[in-house]
Structure 1
Amino acid sequence: MENALLAIHVLAGILFVGPVAVTTSIFPRFARAPADGGSVAPGLAVATVLHRITRVYGILALVVPLVGLALAAVQGRLGEVWITTAMVLTAVAGGLLALRIVPSQRDALAAPLDGRGRRTLGMMTGLFNVMWAVVVVLMIVRPGAE
């Protein structure tokens, strides 16, 4: 059971969180206002697809923490600090994605972003990705693990 949960946890992280990290990072580049003052931004179709991938895979990525919690329970590690830290970072990253990044992307599809908007969205995306990177490091290093 433990091996199956670990395999599902790792595969879901790679297959669901990975694409969200990529699409959120690329999105601001395609969600910019047209340079010539035209009415349609050239990258709008690409931005629309990236937003859809971010939304769908963001929802599918819920499998990662759910299976991770089950795995930690099976292993008897729920009380360890590194697990708690990873859970908090995962919740914050998920909240940032659901409450800030996805709505900002949706808004950008309606009114393409200017330079400041792209930088702000890029900063939120960078923070989201750094949190996931820290979670991965915690999973590997397991500081304070018994």
Structure 2
Amino acid sequence: MTKFLLSVHVLAAILAIGPITVAASMFPRYVRPRAAEGDSPEGNGPEGENARTAALLHRVCRGYTVVGVAVPAFGVATGAQLGVLADAWLLASVMLTAAAAALLLLAILPGQQRLLARLTDGDTDSETATGTGIGTVEARRSAAARLAMITGIFNLLWAVVVVLMIVRPGSTTGA
């Protein structure tokens, strides 16, 4: 039973978390404003194509987030079977996984949604004219950069979790 649980846990991590990390990492590139002016986000120009690609990447992140719940569920089940639920490396992994999940649910997905809304609403420079913002191009560029940074932290957290799962400090297996 332990081998089955571990196999499902690892497969779920690869098949669910992998696509989220890739799609989330690619997303900011497709919402950054282009230097060329006159491209409509809804049109067939580079901005329109980027908007469609960004929307697809956001759907991938949202969809795989639902499937990603299986990763910690099977991880806890595997840890219980192995009797390692109180080990420091597993507790650290659980904390890092919770932090990554919080970043995904509270920062990455909402940030993607906000940027998509700006991108598909046709983002003009009316904010600058009314004095309500620093300019939509600059605001979108800044928001995309922040999202890229948060996504990088999310990916780093998962990398550390993977290392902890493989190395398992204090393990007697010699791994």
- TM-score w.r.t. structure 1 length? 0.95
1:100 and 2:126 aligned: no
Equivalent pairs: percent with the same residue?
45
Name the CA distance, whole Å, in 2 between partners of 1:137 and 1:126. 17
From 142, 145, 166, give the equivalent of 1:119.
145
Moved more, 107-116 or 45-54: 107-116
User: What are the superposed Cα offsets for residues 16-37 of structure 1, whole Å, 9 maximum, x if unpaired?
Assistant: 0000000000000111235415
> SS of the residue aligned with 2:170?
coil
The equivalent residue for 1:46 is 53
Name the CA distance, whole Å, in 1 between partners of 2:153 and 2:59. 20
Aligned length: 146
Post-superposition, which runs of at least 4 consecutive aligned residues in structure 1 deviate over 6 A? none
Name the CA distance, whole Å, in 1 between partners of 2:65 and 2:159. 16
Name the CA distance, whole Å, in 1 between partners of 2:111 and 2:100. 15
Q: What stretches of structure 2 of length at least 5 have no aligned partner?
A: 42-46, 120-138
Higher RCO structure (Cα 8 Å, ≥6 apart): 1
- TM-score w.r.t. structure 2 length? 0.80
Bigger Cα Rg: 2
Q: Using the TM superposition, give the Cα deviation of residue 142 of structure 1 relative to its aligned residue in structure 2, in angstroms.
A: 0.1
Q: Which amino acid aligns with 1:61?
A: G
